[in-house]
């Protein structure tokens, strides 16, 4: 069983929709939770990170971490065609290696 499981997708939504992207994990030592966005044929770029449980908001993006359920989410409000990309969750216990989810490909249709 993988340490990090991500909703596989693909996901296709109309412009303006609220998008929910989710990951579950099994390693209770994870403390750092990240979301990366990867456009086609580009490298991943860090979108948001959260330390431990809680919510974090940045513009149209909200990251949620529920350590008790070992569940993290990324919400995108008022989705735009420019949000079309693959979203990767990633987790780390601290210094050392990270573990990525398999990615969810999102398409926002105008």
Partner 1 sequence: DTAVSQTPKYLVTQMGNDKSIKCEQNLGHDTMYWYKQDSKKFLKIMFSYNNKELIINETVPNRFSPKSPDKAHLNLHINSLELGDSAVYFCASSQVPGSLYEQYFGPGTRLTVT
Q: Is the peptide bond before 101 cis (omega within 30 degrees of 0)?
A: no
Does 49 contact partner 1 by CB under 8 A? yes
For residues 7 and 104, give the distance between their C-alpha atoms in angstroms, rounded to a whole number: 6
Find the shortest distance in angstroms from Cβ 9 to partner 1.
10
Q: Which two tokens stand for residue 107?
A: 């398409």
Find the shortest distance in angstroms from Cβ 16 to partner 1.
26
The stretch among 15-23, 52-60, 67-75, 84-92 that binds partner 1 (CB under 8 A) is 84-92
Distances (CA, A) of 109 to 3, 15, 39, 47, 83: 32, 5, 16, 21, 10
Residues at the site binding partner 1, with contacts judged by CB under 8 A: 32, 34, 38, 41-46, 49, 86, 88, 90-92, 94-98, 100, 102-103, 105
């Amino acid at each position: 069983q993988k340490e990090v499981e991500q909703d596989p997708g693909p996901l296709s939504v109309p412009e303006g929709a609220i998008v929910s992207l989710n990951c579950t994990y099994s390693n209770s030592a994870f403390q750092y939770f990240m979301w990366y966005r990867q456009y086609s044929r580009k490298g991943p770029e860090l979108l948001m990170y959260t330390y431990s449980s809680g919510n974090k908001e940045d513009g149209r993006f909200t990251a949620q971490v529920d350590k008790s359920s070992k569940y993290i989410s990324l919400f995108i409000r008022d989705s735009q065609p420019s949000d079309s990309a693959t979203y990767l969750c990633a987790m780390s216990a601290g210094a050392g290696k990270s573990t990525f989810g398999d990615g969810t490909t999102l398409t926002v249709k105008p």
